[in-house]
Structures are given as C-alpha cells and as structure tokens.
Amino acid sequence: MHVLITGGAGFIGSHLAELHLARGDKVHVVDDLSTGSLDNVGPFLAEPNFRFDEADMLVWPQLERAAAWADRIYHLAAVVGVYRVLAEPTKVLAVNIAACERLLRAVHCSGWKPQVVLASSSEVYGHNEEDILEETQDLVVSTRVGTRWNYSVSKIADEALGLSYARRFGIPTVVSRFFNTVGPRQSGRYGMVIPRFVEQAVRGEPITVFGSGEQTRSFCDVRDTVVALDALAAHADTDGLVVNVGNDREISMNALAELVRQRAGSQSEIVHVPYKQAYGEDFEDIRRRRPSLARLRGLTGFQHRFTLERTID
C-alpha cells in the first residue's frame, strides 16, 4: 500500500509512518518541520520504502502528484499546541483550514479516490462538559470564545470540508477526533502536559499544575491511537463518519501530577500556577473531557493495549 502522511515528522505522524513501514508499505511524508522534527523520522530515512519531503504543504507543488500516488492519506499537518495557538491565533485559522482544503482539492483533482483520514480534535466539543462526549452531539457555538477557540474552529471547518468533499465527490473519508494523545516522541515545548510533568519530576523541579488541578482529561497512548486510525481507515463502513479516538479513563491534573511523581520516584513538590501566569492571558480551561468510544469499538472492535502507567514509564 502507498501511504501519504502530511505532518508525518510530528508526534502522531511518525508513529503512523513506523506502523506502515513495519508492514512493508511505502510511506511518503511531507512536513515543514515547524513543530515536527527530523529526529522523529531519522530511523526511517535510510529505508527504501520511505520518502521525506520538507515542505510547507500550502505551497508544495507536488501535493497533487503525491495524492495521486497514495492509496491512503492521513492528514495531520496543522498548527498545534496551546502556546502556539495563543501566540498565533490568525495563523492557526489560515494554515489549518487552507492545508486541509488544499489537500482535499488535490485528491479531487487527481481523479483518484484514496482513503482519507482527517485529524480533528476533541477541542471541537468546546466547553461541552457532558459526562461523556459523543460524536452525535451538536457542536454548539461557544459562549466562551477565547483565542484558543480559533483552533477548535479550524478543526470544525476541516471536518466540514472533509465531509463535504466526501459527499460531493465520493472521496472515502473518515474524520477522527483525537482526544489527548501521549507517548514517546511527544514534545512538551508547545504546552503538552505529560511531557512537561515528566520532565519536571525527573529534574526534581516543582511540578506545575495550571489552575485548580481539578480539571480532568483522558489520555490515549499514541501507539494505541495509530492502531485505531489504521483500523478505521481499513474499515469499509467508516466513510463519511466522525469517530472519537482516545481513551475513556478520566484523570484529574492533580492525580496525574501525583501519578507522574510516583512513577518517576521523584521528590518534586506539586505547585499550582494560575492560568494567567502560565499562559500570559486569562484562560478558561475546559473542566472535563472524556470520549464515548462506542462508535470506534462498534466499528473496529478496538481495544487499548497501553495503560496510562505504562505510557508514563
């Protein structure tokens, strides 16, 4: 199989590349290395089945040819991370929406119908704090708009574009809403919580919990995420669907800090930092976020292999 991965030198994309190369597939990655890194794909560069192009996919002239070559496309390239989103709110909209549109147009113009997997995000649920978040919930217009909402809006737009191209031109497309994904190669530079906690615990520095720490998240190991994405792409009945991809074990940031400290055998103290100090602006965090996985499991029979403890270790 020929697999094109946009943003494939990033955290999740590099694990997808690894999965497909291990299976003997040919993998083509395009990435501008804005948040991704050559180190993430370094081990694959010598492999004959791997091709890497460092390029901004907004202006990459070979996009159409690459799309025509592919049997499957994972579109992951995006401006990500709370710090970048707060620093460059307009760029988030411009890059994330335009990159997705350009890719879908390239697929359509190629006249070929590869399986497309679009990376959306649990951020589209906004401040919806239901016990469990189902794909059928309406994405209401947020009443708590902030800079961060731009990222959510860019992903909502990508979903709409993907499903519209799918319906209009019959391109097999599945939209996957990733919940917090963690694991090897994730960088803490852009605001990801677990790499930051682990680094602080290992260095014996204070573990900084933003806000009260009572907010909860559900973390999925990236090695589980990529298996789920592959299963969704391979399944015939996923076309035109939106599917949550994550883990439904919920943990508060206070409990997470404690867990990281224990697993690292660290003496670090756990301190609370107001959002304003952490992000430089008032920031209303989402209180809880936990996915319904009924659709993912029903379609693919997917089961997790990694516990949070194993991921942290």
**How far is residue 102's CA from residue 90's CA, in Å, rounded to a whole number?**
18
- Least Å distance between CB 49 and ligand NAD? 20
Taking the least distance from each CB to ligand NAD, the nearer of 121 and 238 is 121
- Least Å distance between CB 61 and ligand NAD? 13
Give the one residue of 70, 85, 99, 264 binding ligand NAD; rule: CB under 6 A: 99
143, amino acid identity: T
Taking the least distance from each CB to ligand NAD, the nearer of 181 and 268 is 181
Cβ partners under 8 Å of residue 204, min gap 6: 266, 267, 268
**Tokens representing residue 272 in the block:** 């609370």
Taking the least distance from each CB to ligand NAD, the nearer of 12 and 232 is 12
Give the one residue of 4, 5, 13, 133 binding ligand NAD; rule: CB under 6 A: 13
Could you say whether residue 76 binds ligand NAD (CB under 6 A)? Answer: yes
**How far is residue 238's CA from residue 311's CA, in Å, rounded to a whole number?**
28
Taking the least distance from each CB to ligand NAD, the nearer of 126 and 268 is 126
Chain centroid to Cα 117, Å, comes to: 12
Contact 162, 96 (CB under 8 A): no
Q: Which of residues 139-178 bind ligand NAD (CB under 6 A)?
A: 178
Give the one residue of 5, 9, 227, 257 binding ligand NAD; rule: CB under 6 A: 9
Residue 39: count of CB within 10 angstroms of its CB: 10
Taking the least distance from each CB to ligand NAD, the nearer of 57 and 70 is 57
Could you say whether residue 18 binds ligand NAD (CB under 6 A)? Answer: no
Residue 142: count of CB within 10 angstroms of its CB: 15
Contact 41, 17 (CB under 8 A): yes
Give the one residue of 19, 33, 94, 241 binding ligand NAD; rule: CB under 6 A: 33
Stretch that binds ligand NAD, among 25-33, 205-213, 226-234, 299-307 (CB under 6 A): 25-33
Cβ partners under 8 Å of residue 274, min gap 6: 210, 211
- Least Å distance between CB 88 and ligand NAD? 11
Could you say whether residue 12 binds ligand NAD (CB under 6 A)? Answer: yes
Cα diameter, the chain:
59
**How far is residue 161's CA from residue 178's CA, in Å, rounded to a whole number?**
17
DSSP state letters, 149-172: HHHHHHHHHHHHHHHHHHHHH---
- Least Å distance between CB 30 and ligand NAD? 6
* Pairing of β 250-252 and β 216-218: antiparallel
Taking the least distance from each CB to ligand NAD, the nearer of 82 and 171 is 82
Taking the least distance from each CB to ligand NAD, the nearer of 37 and 49 is 37
- Least Å distance between CB 53 and ligand NAD? 9
275 catalytic residue (yes or no): no
**How far is residue 216's CA from residue 251's CA, in Å, rounded to a whole number?**
5
Stretch that binds ligand NAD, among 32-40, 126-134, 159-167, 269-277 (CB under 6 A): 32-40
Burial 287-307 (b: 16+ CB within 10 A, else e): ebbbbbbebbeebbebebebe
Give the one residue of 3, 70, 77, 133 binding ligand NAD; rule: CB under 6 A: 77
Residue ranges binding ligand NAD (CB under 6 A): 7, 9-13, 30-36, 56-58, 76-80, 95, 99, 119, 121, 178, 180-181
User: Could you list the active site residues?
Assistant: 151
